[in-house]
Amino acid sequence: MAEHAGEHESAAESLMEKISEKIRGHDSSSSSSDSDDDKPSPIEAVKSKIFRLFGREKPVHKVMGGGKVADIILWRNKKISAGVLGGATALWVLFELLEYHLITLVCHILILSLAMFFLWSNASTFINKSRPHIPDVSIPEDYFLQVASALRIEINRAMTLLHDIASGRDLKKFLTVIAGLWVLSIVSSWCNFLTLFYVVFILLHTVPVVYEKYDDKIDSFAEKAMVEIKRQYAVFDAKVLSKIPRGPLKEKKKD
């Protein structure tokens, strides 16, 4: 009897040990899963390490506002985008190639429109048809104020940027703006303002679409280009900029 009791006790102890090991294993797995939940997934970690042009973290559509303007630029509706691009091309052909003038075009359009509506309104009494419905067109005050406010914000931002550059706080930004203005002056000497505006309009309707379609390849090439630009700037800084004498900065005494 004593031997049977000892066997029962040893079997019970072994059973309890197995149960405790299972509980410990479950706790360790749950704790490891909790720690894994806290850590970012491998896909998110890889995405965070990928270089994006201009530090982009959102899709191109959201970066450009995500509204109707972004839909037109990114050709979400091909008919509307093609219509806008065709209208801009027609205006460029009229003003640039045919040497039409803006005021002349506006006057001719108004003459034709007024003559058509005038004749239609007077002829409706003889042909027994209803007169044309001419809608009342007016610019909403809220919309006009929103456009003016947005324009004021952008102008103030540009003035702040010019003030920071002129004050000599950021040499890199100063050189970037000078180089951009120099390139713009060269390009503007090749063509007039209308042609330059049309070229920018064409680029705005082509470059974002191409970038959205081939963003991985373009970002990879841009990363290599940025590395090379930084290396060349470091060499230029070491050989030229660092040798420019600068006066000591005097701290203002506080009373």
232 located within any domain: yes
How confident is the model at residue 244, as a pLDDT?
A: 72
209 located within any domain: yes
Q: Which residues contact 232 (CB under 8 A, 6 or more apart)?
A: none
How confident is the model at residue 225, as a pLDDT?
A: 86
Q: How confident is the model at residue 112 (pLDDT cuts 50, 70, 90)?
A: very high
Domain that holds residue 165: 139-190
- Answer for the pair 210, 58: CB distance below 8 angstroms, yes or no: no
> How many structural domains is the chain composed of?
2
pLDDT at 160 exceeding the cut of 60? yes
In the chain, what percentage of residues exceed pLDDT 70?
Answer: 74
- If you ran DSSP here, which 8-state letter would residue 130 be given? P
pLDDT at 107 exceeding the cut of 90? yes
Average pLDDT over every residue of 150-178 = 84
Task: Give CA–CA dist 4/10, Å, rounded.
Answer: 10
88 located within any domain: yes
226 located within any domain: yes
Q: Are residues 171 and 67 in the same domain?
A: no
pLDDT at 227 exceeding the cut of 70? yes
Q: How confident is the model at residue 17 (pLDDT cuts 50, 70, 90)?
A: low
CA torsion through residues 80, 140, 111, 195, sign: negative
183 located within any domain: yes
In the chain, what percentage of residues exceed pLDDT 90?
Answer: 10
Q: How confident is the model at residue 149 (pLDDT cuts 50, 70, 90)?
A: confident
Task: Give CA–CA dist 26/20, Å, rounded.
Answer: 10
118 located within any domain: no
192-to-93, 95, 186, 198 alpha-carbon distances in Å: 14, 11, 11, 10
Short-list 149, 116, 150, 111, CA closest to 131: 116
- Answer for the pair 84, 72: CB distance below 8 angstroms, yes or no: yes
Q: What would the pLDDT profile of 21-70 be if each residue is shown by its tens digit?
A: 655 554 454 444 444 444 545 444 444 556 666 666 777 888 777 778 88
User: Where do runs of H (alpha helix) occur along the chain?
Assistant: 2-38, 42-49, 60-63, 68-73, 78-92, 102-127, 141-166, 171-190, 193-213, 215-239
pLDDT at 208 exceeding the cut of 50? yes
How confident is the model at residue 215, as a pLDDT?
A: 83
How confident is the model at residue 110, as a pLDDT?
A: 92
Q: Which two tokens stand for residue 24?
A: 């410990």
Overall size of the chain counted in residues: 255
How confident is the model at residue 77, as a pLDDT?
A: 86
**AA letter at 213:** K
13 located within any domain: no
Q: Are residues 60 and 183 in the same domain?
A: no
Q: Which residue has the higher pLDDT, 64 or 100?
A: 100
